């Protein structure tokens, strides 16, 4: 009879053991039930005011999303009460509910200087003749330096190229096989390497943005997070957070390391995130990096692979600027690393941007290249939400199959990029503005901390505001890229013509002169 010591005084008499446990259990259970009910009542009676200002991150319910669906009452409370509707049936007091996530998207993009600047430059674009006082766009990482080549090609080959083999009704939504094949041939050429790309591992999407979006949905659940070295692309916040609702854990890189990524920082960020209870599902690296333009060398890439393996997380390698790498250093693609490392490829996913490489940003063609069969299955199915249109695919197939043109294009584009980069950085240097040395990307990363009126994010934004509204150039402030040091700015120079460069410099000079005269 003497079962467990603490029950000694209790387990006596017949059935004592049984009743002694059942009754308190039942009591406890009803007590819990009572509490749960009470909590419900507490929540529902005070209905929030009709135009509900949902908190910015409300959609990630306290629970994991899967079970959130089963218990919808944990989600937000209704913004209306029945009684009010009965009072005035034809005019309910408030507008119909707009989802919490919609409200937060609208608010974030309204406030971020990155989007504000883009909008402003779009509304009042500079033009040498028509609008000489307009805003010059230096905030978009788009390359249009060699757009004329593609334009000429289309002109020469006629628009018939778009028709291809005619229009077929039912097409796969993840891209035509012919185009995938063409991309598999084109990418090694762009990288000047002999790497093998398998078309069956590709999913083509409407832009690299959608590729990142799809990957985020595939790799992480609501509220999980990705490690991202900062400064990172200013559009990541939108790409990753808005819809897929994934947190970004910043891995800060500093100017003292020349903004190179260190595994120690990665490890620290991972452990801190874990301590905070965040679930880290992956790491996103950008190579060449955006906004700094750094290349990741073979060693670092191997370290990252090891790191990801150790933590059992994914690697998303964003190589959308692969073709712009043109410094003395060698660009190493993740694909190369994996060719050597047989093991454990299924955690690696790579993103390319065909429109970046071809200097036609508005074609918006992204490539998702993954080694994980399950990710590919899901991504192919999600591709229906960001499918490429057939005419664009046909056109690209025709362009890419013209090997002579492609070769010439790559050469000229690289030369123009190099020249523009050199000119731009040299001119900035003359103004006393230093850029970090970089070997890729459509931008340079400039240190303007000398021009700040106060050293801090506030001073940085104030300078950004002067550049935008007084000097009329739109650049991206470091804070939009989540850089931890203030005073850094990203200048995208690949949408400029050479004539524009001197105008830009003149405008910056004005600001710098004004700042100096003050001090």
Partner 1 sequence: MTRTREPESKSKTSSPSSSSTGMKLIVPLQGVVQGRGGILLGSLIPCALFYFFQLYLKKRRRSNDKHPSSNPPSPSSSFPELPRTPSRSNLSSRGSLTGVRLSRLATTISDDDSAYYVGLNRASRDPYHKLTNPDGIIQLGLSDNTLSLDLIGDWMRKWGSGGDDGLSINGIATYQAFDGVDELKLALSDFMHQVMGGSVHFDTSNMVLTAGATPAIEILSFCLADHGNAFLVPTPYYPGFDRDVKWRPGVDLIPVHCRSADNFNLSMTALEQAYSQARKRGVKVRGILVSNPSNPVGNMLTQDMLYNLIDFAEDKNIHLIVDEVFAGSTYGSEKFVSVAEILESDSEYIDNRRIHIIYGLSKDLALAGFRVGVIYSFNKNVLATARKLCRFSSISAPTQRLVTSMLSDKKFIQDYFETNRNRMRQVHHEFVDALSKIGIKCAKSSGGMFCWADMSGLIKPYSEKGELELWEKFMSIAKINITPGSACHCIEPGWFRICFTTMSLDEIPLVIERIRRVVEVCKFSS
Identify whether the C-beta of residue 501 lies closer than 8 Å to the C-beta of residue 423: yes
Task: State the number of CA atoms in the 13 A half-sphere of 154 facing the CB.
Answer: 16
User: Cβ of residue 295: shortest distance to partner 1, in angstroms?
Assistant: 26
Q: In the structure encoding, which two tokens stand for residue 189, read together?
A: 């050429």
Q: In the structure encoding, which two tokens stand for residue 361, read together?
A: 């940003």
Q: What angle do CA 176, 365, 384 make, to 5 degrees?
A: 60
Span from 148-156, 251-259, 260-268, 476-484 in contact with partner 1 (CB under 8 A): 148-156
Q: Identify the DSSP state of 92.
A: -
Residue 397 interacting with partner 1 (CB under 8 A) = no
Distance from C-alpha of 171 to C-alpha of 250, rounded to nearest angstrom: 40
Q: Which of positions 5-24 make contact with partner 1 (CB under 8 A)?
A: 6-7, 9-10, 12-16, 19-24
3-state class (DSSP) for residue 425: helix
Residue 69 interacting with partner 1 (CB under 8 A) = yes
Residue 395 interacting with partner 1 (CB under 8 A) = yes
Span from 114-122, 193-201, 330-338, 453-461 in contact with partner 1 (CB under 8 A): 114-122
Q: Find the binder of partner 1 among 372, 413, 479, 480 (CB under 8 A).
A: 372
| Best CA proximity match to 147, nearest among 357, 455, 369 | 357
Largest CA distance in the chain: 102
Q: Which of positions 324-353 make contact with partner 1 (CB under 8 A)?
A: 343-344, 346-347
Distance from C-alpha of 315 to C-alpha of 311, rounded to nearest angstrom: 11
Kind and range of the H or E element at 231?
none
Q: Identify the DSSP state of 383.
A: G
Q: Which of positions 159-218 make contact with partner 1 (CB under 8 A)?
A: 159-160, 162-163, 166-171, 206-207, 209-210, 213, 217-218
* Interface pattern 84-113 for partner 1 (x via CB under 8 A): -x---xxxx-xxxxxxxxxx-xx--x----
Distance from C-alpha of 506 to C-alpha of 512, rounded to nearest angstrom: 10
Q: Which region, left, alpha or beta, applies to residue 207 given φ > 0 means left and ψ of -120 to 50 means alpha? A: left
Residue 43 interacting with partner 1 (CB under 8 A) = no
User: Which CB, 176 or 445, lies closer to partner 1?
Assistant: 176
Residue 415 interacting with partner 1 (CB under 8 A) = no
Identify whether the C-beta of residue 118 lies closer than 8 Å to the C-beta of residue 107: no
* Tokens 């004539």 belong to residue: 499
User: Cβ of residue 429: shortest distance to partner 1, in angstroms?
Assistant: 26
Residue 49 interacting with partner 1 (CB under 8 A) = no
* Interface pattern 443-462 for partner 1 (x via CB under 8 A): --------------------
Residue 389 interacting with partner 1 (CB under 8 A) = yes
Q: Which of positions 233-252 make contact with partner 1 (CB under 8 A)?
A: 238-239, 242-244
Q: Find the binder of partner 1 among 363, 405, 464, 493 (CB under 8 A).
A: 363
Residue 362 interacting with partner 1 (CB under 8 A) = yes
């Amino acid at each position: 009879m003497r079962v467990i010591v603490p029950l000694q005084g209790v387990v006596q008499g017949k059935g004592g053991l049984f009743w002694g446990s059942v009754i308190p259990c039942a009591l406890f259970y009803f007590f819990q039930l009572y509490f749960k009910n009470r909590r419900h009542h507490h929540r529902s009676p005070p209905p929030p005011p009709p135009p509900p200002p949902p908190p910015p991150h409300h959609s990630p319910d306290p629970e994991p999303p899967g079970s959130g669906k089963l218990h919808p009452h944990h989600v937000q409370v209704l913004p209306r009460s029945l009684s009010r509707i009965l009072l005035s049936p034809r005019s309910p007091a408030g507008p119909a509910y707009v989802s919490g996530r919609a409200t937060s998207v609208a608010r974030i993009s309204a406030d971020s200087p990155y989007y504000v600047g883009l909008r402003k430059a779009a509304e009042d674009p500079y033009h040498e003749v028509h609008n000489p006082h307009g805003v010059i766009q230096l905030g978009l990482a788009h390359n249009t330096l060699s757009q004329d080549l593609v334009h000429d090609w289309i002109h020469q080959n006629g628009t018939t190229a778009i028709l291809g083999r005619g229009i077929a009704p039912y097409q796969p939504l993840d891209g035509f096989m012919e185009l995938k094949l063409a991309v598999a041939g084109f990418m090694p050429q762009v990288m000047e390497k002999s790497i093998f790309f398998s078309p069956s591992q590709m999913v083509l999407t409407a832009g690299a943005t959608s590729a990142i979006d799809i990957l985020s949905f595939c790799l992480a659940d609501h509220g999980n997070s990705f490690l991202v070295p900062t400064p990172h692309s200013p559009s990541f916040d939108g790409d990753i957070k808005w819809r897929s609702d994934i947190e970004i854990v910043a891995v800060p890189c500093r100017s003292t390391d020349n903004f190179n990524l260190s595994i120690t920082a990665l490890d620290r960020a991972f452990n801190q995130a874990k301590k905070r209870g965040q679930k880290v599902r992956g790491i996103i690296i950008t190579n060449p990096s955006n906004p700094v333009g750094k290349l990741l060398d073979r060693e670092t890439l191997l370290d990252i692979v090891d790191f990801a393996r150790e933590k059992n997380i994914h690697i998303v390698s964003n190589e959308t600027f692969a073709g712009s790498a043109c410094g003395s250093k060698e660009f190493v693609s993740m694909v190369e690393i994996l060719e050597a490392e047989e093991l454990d490829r299924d955690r690696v996913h790579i993103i390319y941007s065909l429109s970046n490489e071809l200097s036609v940003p508005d074609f918006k063609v992204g490539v998702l290249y993954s080694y994980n069969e399950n990710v590919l299955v899901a991504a192919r199915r999600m591709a229906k939400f960001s499918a490429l249109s057939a005419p664009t695919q046909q056109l690209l197939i025709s362009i890419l199959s013209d090997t002579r043109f492609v070769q010439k294009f790559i050469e000229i584009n690289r030369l123009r990029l190099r020249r523009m980069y050199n000119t731009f950085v040299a001119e900035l240097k003359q103004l006393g503005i230093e850029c970090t040395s970089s070997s890729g990307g459509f931008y340079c990363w400039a240190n303007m901390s000398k021009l700040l009126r106060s050293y801090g994010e506030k001073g940085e934004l104030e300078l950004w505001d002067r550049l935008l509204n007084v000097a009329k150039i739109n650049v991206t402030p470091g804070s939009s890229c989540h850089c931890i040091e203030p005073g850094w700015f990203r200048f995208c120079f690949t949408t400029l013509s050479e004539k524009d460069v001197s105008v830009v410099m003149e405008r910056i000079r004005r600001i710098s002169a004004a700042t100096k005269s003050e001090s």
